Amino acid sequence: MKGRLAVFNTLTGEKEPFTTLRKGKVTMFACGPTVQDYMHLGHARTYVFYDVVARYLKHLGNEVNFVINITDVDERITQEAEGKGEDPLGYAALYSRRFIEDMASIGADSVCRFEPVSGHVDRMIELVGRLVEKGYAYSVDGWVYFDVSKFPAFGRLSHQSRGELSLRPLELSLRKRGLLDFALWRPETLVEGRWDSPWGRGSPGWHIQDVAVTFELLGEQYDLHGGAYELIYPHHEAEIAEAEALTGKAPFVRHWVHTRLLNMGGRKMSKSVGNVMTVRDAMKRYTQGQLRFFLLGHHYRRDMDLRGLGSAARRFSRLRQAALKAARESPVSGGGRDAGLMDRFRDAMDDDFDTPLALEAIEDGLTSLAGRKGSRAAGILSSVKAAGYILGVDFFA
Ligand SMILES: [Zn+2]
């Protein structure tokens, strides 16, 4: 695909024309949750955004294969489940189902596949074995580590020099050869290891999970990788090292796209801070349209604060009333659209998915309807409907 769409790439630090490996086909992936708890609005911000990315890429005529993984293999899940006297696998399965339900309730329905990583452990063992064979990894006491000194491009995604990286050592352990080396395989310490490997019973490291899933479902290279920006280092940096060391092909991913935070009272919404609003709680008080209107009312590369939710919800309701009233007076006849509105909408979206400006175009269209009837009004309404569909914000529901 070659169009006008420009997307900010974390890897280069620049807005670049959006291109794909295969014409008309987009392969995209976003890091999914570790399923140990309910989804909160911070996660919802991320997933609603990538849902809109997928919807817009489809609107531009692409076939979009969008995969989200589900981390159902993790010590935190085991701890949480055992603390409650439950079986970790059953616990993870329950929260996976809840995650998929919550994704449906926020309208993130462009995801083609939610993929539990536990089904790919054999592939992970094979990949780790190949990294050892190729000299990029070493095993010690049941652990396997990636040898970062063998991969000079480490730090490129997070724009850190070797000196800066040395101040942020990973996974402190005396077993490691280098401070930045990270685990590819670990002997299970909390529970009996679930998988046999050439290095003994254990479980895969976190970063290799995404690589195994995407190699399988999207190929060894693909178009767009998303996730919250705090995953850039070390998680995504490590994915690049693993994948490019395995294949010798760069770039592993063409476009690295990261969302910023949703804060609550100036602090990041997170379970550890204790300032979390779950999607389920939010959906008791707000509609899907209100929530998406609020979340998309801020550019994805800027932090936002939950304090604006109430007023955004009221603004959405007023716009919806205006849309419904106008639709009664000037039924959409299937006729033409309002070219000006659609151009403004597309210009905004083409500029690194500027959803606040895209919503402003819709809002101005609806405001301009006051006192107007007939085909011009019907054209505006038809455009509002089309643009709203791409954002997953239905002004007529
Ligand atoms: Zn991930």
Same domain, 96 and 62: yes
Q: Residue 141 Cα, ligand 1 centroid: separation in angstroms?
A: 26
Same domain, 239 and 334: no
Same domain, 230 and 86: yes
Same domain, 18 and 149: yes
Q: Residue 235 Cα, ligand 1 centroid: separation in angstroms?
A: 7
The pair of three-digit structure tokens given for residue 341, joined into one six-digit string:
């509105």
Answer yes or no: is 323 within a domain: yes
Q: Residue 316 Cα, ligand 1 centroid: separation in angstroms?
A: 33
Answer yes or no: is 271 within a domain: no
Domains contained in the chain, number: 2
Q: Residue 327 Cα, ligand 1 centroid: separation in angstroms?
A: 43
Whole-number Cα distances in Å, 298 to 49, 88, 332:
10, 37, 30
Same domain, 342 and 201: no
Q: Residue 236 Cα, ligand 1 centroid: separation in angstroms?
A: 7
Q: Which residue range is the domain that position 218 belongs to? A: 6-263
Answer yes or no: is 396 within a domain: no
Which phi and psi (to 5°) does residue 20 adopt? -125, 160
Same domain, 329 and 231: no
Answer yes or no: is 119 within a domain: yes
Task: From first to last of the 397 residues of the chain, give the pLDDT tens digit.
Answer: 345 999 999 999 999 999 999 999 999 999 999 898 899 999 999 999 999 999 999 999 999 999 999 999 888 888 888 888 888 888 999 999 999 999 999 999 999 999 999 999 999 999 999 999 999 999 999 999 999 999 999 999 999 998 899 888 888 888 999 999 999 999 976 555 679 999 999 999 999 999 999 999 999 999 999 999 999 999 999 999 999 999 999 999 999 999 999 998 888 887 788 889 999 999 999 999 999 999 999 999 999 999 999 999 999 999 999 999 998 887 766 668 888 999 999 999 999 999 999 999 999 999 998 877 788 888 999 999 999 999 999 999 9
Q: Residue 225 Cα, ligand 1 centroid: separation in angstroms?
A: 9
DSSP letter (8 states) at residue 65:
E
Please give the Cα distance from 6 to 15 (Å, whole number): 6
Same domain, 202 and 325: no
Same domain, 140 and 255: yes
Q: Residue 33 Cα, ligand 1 centroid: separation in angstroms?
A: 8
Q: Residue 209 Cα, ligand 1 centroid: separation in angstroms?
A: 8
Q: Residue 32 Cα, ligand 1 centroid: separation in angstroms?
A: 6
Same domain, 248 and 322: no
CATH of the domain at 352: 1.20.120
Q: Residue 338 Cα, ligand 1 centroid: separation in angstroms?
A: 41
- Quote the pTM value: 0.95
Q: Residue 17 Cα, ligand 1 centroid: separation in angstroms?
A: 25
Exposed e or buried b for every residue in 79-104, given b needs 16+ CB within 10 A? ebbeeeeeebeebbbebbebbbebbe
Same domain, 122 and 230: yes
Answer yes or no: is 223 within a domain: yes
Q: Residue 276 Cα, ligand 1 centroid: separation in angstroms?
A: 21
Same domain, 253 and 365: no
Answer yes or no: is 124 within a domain: yes
Q: Residue 305 Cα, ligand 1 centroid: separation in angstroms?
A: 24
Q: Residue 74 Cα, ligand 1 centroid: separation in angstroms?
A: 12
Q: Is 29 exposed, middle or buried (0-12, 13-18, 19+ CB in 10 A)?
A: buried
Same domain, 255 and 295: no
Answer yes or no: is 30 within a domain: yes
374: Cα within 13 Å, side-chain hemisphere = 3
